[in-house]
Structure 1
Amino acid sequence: MMPQRSLFIVVLLGLFAGLVAQNASAVLYKWTDENGRTVYGDQPPPGAKPERLNASVGPADPNAIRNLANKDAEIKKRQQQRADEAAKAEKERIEAKRKLEQCAQARGRIRTLKEEGAVYRYNDKGEKILFQPAEREKTINDGQKMLRDLNCPPAT
């Protein structure tokens, strides 16, 4: 989007410079028409007694292009800042979602360990082993610590 805007501005400046140059070289006349009205133009009609006017245009601002480039740089900087902020917000949103999922999983494990009668797990050999009361309590405490460490919101 910005390259198109920059191109538009450059073309617009070029057209403006061309018009200024054309007007600077143009001659302006003043005359009175047959109805007695004063008329201004670059070509008087035949038979009129024109008065030649000084229609010079002042010099163009030499800082205009520099100012335009500075404004363009400021616009690009603001756009980059907005893009960076959007990327940061997206990263934070993803992290918050991940955290909520971890909190839900930890709550689910704690709830299962507290509510289920017999809870099993699998060891390294793939054997099914019953959770012992001390191991169950330690796993519940670890889950609650994880909830605190993640600063999980209260369960709804």
Structure 2
Amino acid sequence: MMKRIVIVACALALAPFASAQMYKYVDKDGKTVYTDQPPPGSEPKQMNVPSSATGSSPAPAKSAVQQDKELQKARDKAQEGTKKADETAARAKAEEERCESAKTAYTHYAQGGRISKYNAQGERIFLGDAEIDAERERAKQKMEEVCKKS
């Protein structure tokens, strides 16, 4: 209790100094001078100096719970961005693999030579020239379709 009384007394004793008056005058060299005491032998202009900004208080600090919520939102947003980037990279990799597979198939048919396949019964059959040409065209179209994006 005594401590509060001393603090209040000091604040009241120092209050007049906070509202000190300011004087403005021009000295003999023509310089403008600002001071807290009136100049000797000249007519000073008393200035109204506004006191410190008491009306504007700083924004209240955010509570720990609110800060935690904002931090969690930022983390969630960052994770979502990372997840989307990973999905995009995975899609791009899959498209690249499909393109490479289509190029390999086209190259296989474009080289010529004897090409064989297995039929529905599991027997190995050799393709004729017309069948190879048809498969080559089909592989070329598929390659152009799959690889046109990259």
What stretches of structure 1 of length at least 5 have no aligned partner?
1-24, 30-51
The 2-side partners of 1:133 and 1:26 are apart by 110
Identity, % of aligned positions? 19
Query: Counterparts in 2 of 1:1-156, with a 5 A limit?
Result: 27=3, 52-54=6-8, 64-65=61-62, 68-152=64-148
Contact 2:109 2:132 in 1 (8 A): yes
The 2-side partners of 1:87 and 1:76 are apart by 16
**What is the aligned partner in structure 2 of residue 47 from structure 1?**
none
Return the offset for 1:69: 3.9
Structure ranking higher in helix proportion: 1
The 2-side partners of 1:71 and 1:148 are apart by 53
SS at match of 1:125: coil
Q: Which has the larger radius of gyration?
A: 2
The 2-side partners of 1:153 and 1:93 are apart by 14
**What is the aligned partner in structure 2 of residue 40 from structure 1?**
none
What stretches of structure 2 of length at least 5 have no aligned partner?
12-57
The 2-side partners of 1:134 and 1:70 are apart by 73
SS at match of 1:53: helix
Return the offset for 1:64: 4.2
Return the offset for 1:26: 8.1
SS at match of 2:117: strand
Distance 1:147 1:71, change over 3 A: farther
Return the offset for 1:83: 0.7
Return the offset for 1:149: 2.4
Q: Give RMSD over aligned pairs.
A: 3.2
SS at match of 2:147: coil
